[in-house]
C-alpha cells in the first residue's frame, strides 16, 4: 500500500491576481476526504477506501501551489469557459464571428491561454462537506463574448459521492459555455502505476470522429466492432494498441462519446474498477457526452509531471472521464447547443461516486 502525501494548507496559500489562494478539505463521516485548491478549482487529493477499508489517494496532483502552477495545467481543474477544442479558434454566434485565443494551434483548447484552469476563484467553505467557488468570465476574455458569472458547489456526501454542481448565466449578451472537470484518476492508490489494468465500462454507442487536429468533424460513429467499444467491461489496456485511426491520433484513448441517456437527465456515463484494490468509480452527469482519456501525454518530465510524494507521472498512469457538451459544438449545428441567449442559465452536475467490488 503506497502511503499518501500529507498536504499542508500553508503550502497552497498565496495571492494571485488579487485573490487569495488556499487548500480546502471536504470530509464525510465514513473517513473519505477531498482536497481542493481554489486556483483553477483543482482537485488535488481524494482519499477513498479500498475493499479492506484502507484509504488511498486516487488522484494525481501536486503538494504545493508552486508545483501546481508548474505542473500539468488541466490536472484536477474545472474547465471553462469552453472545454475541449474549438476548431480554428473561431465561431459565429448570431451572425458575428468571434476569434478565441489559440493555445493548441490551430485550435482553442480548454478555454484558451488563460481559461479557468489558470484563474483563482473566490472560495467559501459552506460546511465540513461542501465548498462554494465563484468566478466571473468577463466580456471579451480569451475572445469570448459576454459576461458569464459561474458558481460551483463541491459536495461530499455520506455515500462517498463527490458532486460538482454549477450554475452560470449569460449576464449581458449572447455567449457560449461548456464546462467539465479534468481530474486524473488512478484507483490503485499508487499514482505512478499503470491504469491499463483498470476495467472500464462507457455508456456510449457512438463516438465523435476527429480531424487531423483532434477537432470533431460533426460525424458520430458507431463503436460496434471497434476497439473503442466499452459498452461491455474491458481493461483500458486490452485494445489500446489496436490498429485504429482514433487510437493512433490520440496515442491511446482520447475521444468523446455520446452518452446513451435522455438529454439533460442525470445518468451514468462510465464505471471503472481497479481489480487489485477493489475500488470502483462511477461517473454520472447531466451532460450529453464524456471524454475518455488514458493519460497519453503524461511524459515523466520534471517539473511538469513530478507529483505528490515525488512520484513521476508517466504515460498511462492516470485516466480522465470528462462529462461535457460536445467539443466544437459552437461550429456544428447538429450537436447539442452550447449557446446561451442573454439572461439564459446553464446548470449541470458531475458526480464521482466511489465504492468497492
C-alpha cell at 164: 460538482
Given the residues 141, 142, 282, 322, select the one marked as catalytic: 322
How many Cβ atoms from other residues are within 10 Å of residue 69's Cβ?
Answer: 16
Task: Report the candidate in 283, 291, 284, 282 with the shortest Cα–Cα distance to residue 266.
Answer: 284
* Catalytic status, residue 322: yes
How many whole angstroms separate alpha carbon 347 and alpha carbon 287? 10
- Residues 170 and 341 sit within 8 Å (Cβ to Cβ): yes
b/e for 191-206, b at 16 or more Cβ within 10 A?
bbbbbbbbbbbbbbbb
* Catalytic status, residue 182: yes
At residue 253, the 3 state secondary structure works out as coil
At residue 27, the 3 state secondary structure works out as strand
C-alpha cell at 289: 457526452
DSSP 336: P
β-strand 199-202 against 175-176: which pairing, if any?
A: unpaired
DSSP 326: P
Task: Report the candidate in 2, 128, 129 with the shortest Cα–Cα distance to residue 54.
Answer: 2
What residue has cell string 488541466?
A: 74
Given the residues 182, 198, 256, 269, select the one marked as catalytic: 182
Helix (H) or strand (E) holding 47: strand 42-49
- Pseudo-torsion of CA 80, 95, 210, 233, nearest 10°? 50
The residues assigned a catalytic role are 182, 322
Amino acid at each position: 500500500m503506497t502511503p499518501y502525501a500529507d498536504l499542508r494548507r500553508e503550502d497552497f496559500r498565496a495571492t494571485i491576481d488579487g485573490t487569495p489562494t488556499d487548500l480546502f478539505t471536504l470530509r464525510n463521516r465514513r473517513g473519505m476526504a477531498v482536497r481542493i485548491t481554489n486556483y483553477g478549482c483543482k482537485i488535488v487529493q481524494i482519499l477513498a477506501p479500498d475493499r479492506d477499508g484502507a484509504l488511498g489517494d486516487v488522484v494525481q496532483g501536486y503538494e504545493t501551489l508552486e508545483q501546481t502552477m508548474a505542473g500539468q495545467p488541466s490536472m484536477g481543474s474545472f474547465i471553462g469557459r469552453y472545454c475541449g477544442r474549438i476548431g480554428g479558434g473561431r465561431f459565429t454566434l448570431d451572425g458575428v464571428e468571434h476569434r478565441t485565443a489559440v493555445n493548441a494551434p490551430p485550435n482553442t483548447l480548454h478555454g484558451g491561454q488563460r481559461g479557468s484552469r489558470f484563474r483563482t476563484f473566490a472560495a467559501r467553505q459552506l460546511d465540513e462537506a461542501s465548498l462554494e467557488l465563484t468566478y466571473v468570465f468577463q466580456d471579451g476574455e480569451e475572445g469570448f463574448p459576454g459576461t458569464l458569472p459561474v458558481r460551483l458547489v463541491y459536495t461530499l456526501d455520506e455515500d462517498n459521492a463527490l458532486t460538482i454542481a454549477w450554475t452560470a448565466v449569460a449576464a449581458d449578451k449572447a455567449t457560449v459555455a461548456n464546462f467539465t472537470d479534468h481530474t486524473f484518476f488512478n484507483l490503485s492508490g499508487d499514482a505512478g502505476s499503470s491504469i491499463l489494468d483498470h476495467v472500464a465500462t462507457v455508456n456510449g454507442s457512438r463516438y465523435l470522429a476527429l480531424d487531423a487536429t483532434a477537432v470533431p468533424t460533426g460525424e458520430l460513429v458507431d463503436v460496434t466492432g471497434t476497439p473503442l467499444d466499452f459498452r461491455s467491461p474491458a481493461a483500458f489496456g486490452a485494445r489500446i494498441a489496436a490498429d485504429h485511426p482514433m487510437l493512433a491520433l490520440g496515442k491511446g484513448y482520447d475521444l468523446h462519446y455520446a452518452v446513451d441517456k435522455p438529454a439533460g437527465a442525470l445518468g451514468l456515463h462510465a464505471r471503472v474498477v481497479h481489480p487489485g484494490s477493489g475500488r470502483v468509480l462511477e461517473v454520472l452527469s447531466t451532460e450529453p457526452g464524456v471524454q475518455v482519456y488514458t493519460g497519453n501525454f503524461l511524459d515523466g518530465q520534471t517539473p511538469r509531471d513530478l507529483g505528490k510524494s515525488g512520484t513521476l507521472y508517466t504515460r498511462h498512469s492516470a485516466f480522465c472521464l470528462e462529462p461535457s457538451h460536445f467539443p466544437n459544438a459552437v461550429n456544428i449545428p447538429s450537436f447539442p447547443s452550447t449557446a446561451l441567449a442573454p439572461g439564459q442559465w446553464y446548470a449541470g452536475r458531475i458526480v464521482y461516486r466511489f465504492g468497492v467490488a
